[in-house]
């Protein structure tokens, strides 16, 4: 029961805001284009503001440590399995492959990782390193595929100028490296915009649940099930293997790495899929089901490794 309270406190806002979105969709309060408009607001306005501030305020060298190496190994393994499954088992197109790989390995590090880390570990400092890894390395690779304008040098160099997420990431990295600070008024404006990102994304996710098209009888359910299995079980096991048997991390660092690796799929994956129209149903269902399943897996990890 030790792990139950922190998990419930972290998960409750996710379910509540998703439920609000479902009721909004069911009532038709915001009209038929509500999901699309809210998702575009998150992608083009709120999320870039939040990412810029988070990266600008975090030293870039923070992710260069043994714990992050173990976490990155688990992320790479899970993402690779998601890509292989999409390619050889479900025969998905490149954009869908990118979303499938992201859904299998991209963790909900901020709005769920922070409360769980604070109450299970007593320290949420690892969150910043995880966010940096995912935003600086995983996200650009996925968005480069989703952009769909070729892999030439010009396309790759101009991608940040065409994508608000990558532009905010690049500007945040420059600000972090140079020690640049925004004026207080502009900084506060970015904080307000960024703070709207997570709740708006969850409301949009909830709206998408209303009148969603039925999943394909076989392949779609199997793909969602396999993605959730990789995300909630395989990724933390892979991170554990690297952290315990290769890097020989001490118990507290081992718990930190495995706990963060077991976090469910981030709602960012759904936002990206909705923006580019690729793998939307997979992303939506992976976020929902991995969030539900992770309540059990996170409890087991907290109990077993926390006791050790």
Tokens of 104: 């299998």
Two tokens, residue 191 = 């904080």
Residue 212 forms part of a structural domain: no
- Domain assignment present for 121: yes
CATH code, domain with 30: 1.20.1530.20
What local confidence, expressed as pLDDT, does residue 308 receive?
55
Range of the domain at 297: 4-207+217-302
Is 67 domain-assigned? yes
Whole-model pTM above 0.85? no
148 found inside a domain? yes
pLDDT, position 159 = 66
Number of domains in the chain: 1
**Domain-located, residue 285:** yes
Instruction: Give pLDDT, residue 1.
Output: 47
In this predicted structure, what is the pLDDT of residue 147? 78
3-state helix/strand/coil string of the chain: CCCHHHHHHHHHHHHHHHHHHHHHHHHCCCCCCHHHHHHHHHHHHHHHHHHHHHHHCCCHHHHCCHHHHHHHHHHHHHHHHHHHHHHHHCCCCHHHHHHHHHHHHCECCCCCHHHHHHHHCCCCCHHHHHHHHHHHHHHHHHHHHHHCCCCCHHHHHHHHHHCHHHHHHHHHHHHHHHCCCCCHHHHHHHHHHHHCHHHHHHHHHHHHCCCCCCCCCCHHHHHHHHHHHHHHHHHHHHHHHHHHHHCCCCHHHHHHHHHHHCCCECHHHHHHHHHHCCCHHHHHHHHHHHHHHHHHHHHHHHHHHHHC
Residue 307 within a domain: no
Asked whether residue 308 is domain-assigned, the answer is: no
Examine residue 162 and state whether it is found in any structural domain, yes or no.
Answer: yes
pLDDT of 60:
76
**Cα 305 from chain centroid?**
24
For residue 6, the model assigns a pLDDT of: 55
Q: Consecutive sets of 10 residues in the chain, 308 residues long: mean pLDDT of each?
A: 58 88 93 92 91 85 85 97 95 94 93 75 80 86 77 60 83 89 90 91 89 60 95 98 96 94 94 92 94 90 79
């Amino acid at each position: 029961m030790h792990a139950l309270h922190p998990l419930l406190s972290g998960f409750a806002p996710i379910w509540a805001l998703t439920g609000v979105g479902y009721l909004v969709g069911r009532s038709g309060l915001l009209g038929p284009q509500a999901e699309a408009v809210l998702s575009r607001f998150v992608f083009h306005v709120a999320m870039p503001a939040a990412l810029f501030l988070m990266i600008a305020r975090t030293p870039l060298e923070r992710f260069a440590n043994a714990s992050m190496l173990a976490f990155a190994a688990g992320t790479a393994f899970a993402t690779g399995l998601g890509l292989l499954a999409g390619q050889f088992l479900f025969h998905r197109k490149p954009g869908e492959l990118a979303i499938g790989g992201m859904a299998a390995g991209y963790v909900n590090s901020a709005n769920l990782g922070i409360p769980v880390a604070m109450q299970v570990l007593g320290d949420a400092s690892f969150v910043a390193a995880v966010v940096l890894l995912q935003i600086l390395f995983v996200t650009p690779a996925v968005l480069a595929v989703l952009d769909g304008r070729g892999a030439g040098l010009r396309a790759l160099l101009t991608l940040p100028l065409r994508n608000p997420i990558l532009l905010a990431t690049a500007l945040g990295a420059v600000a972090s490296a140079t020690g640049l600070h925004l004026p207080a008024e502009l900084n506060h404006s970015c904080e307000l915009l960024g703070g709207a990102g997570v709740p708006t994304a969850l409301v949009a996710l909830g709206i998408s649940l209303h009148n969603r098209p039925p999943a394909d009888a076989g392949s779609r359910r199997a793909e969602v099930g396999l993605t959730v299995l990789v995300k909630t079980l395989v990724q933390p096991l892979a991170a554990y293997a690297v952290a315990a048997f290769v890097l020989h991390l001490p118990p507290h660092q081992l718990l930190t790495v495995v706990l963060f690796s077991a976090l469910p799929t981030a709602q960012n994956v759904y936002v990206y899929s909705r923006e580019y129209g690729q793998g939307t149903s997979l992303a939506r269902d992976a976020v929902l089901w991995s969030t539900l399943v992770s309540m059990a897996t996170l409890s087991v990890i907290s109990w077993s490794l926390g006791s050790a």
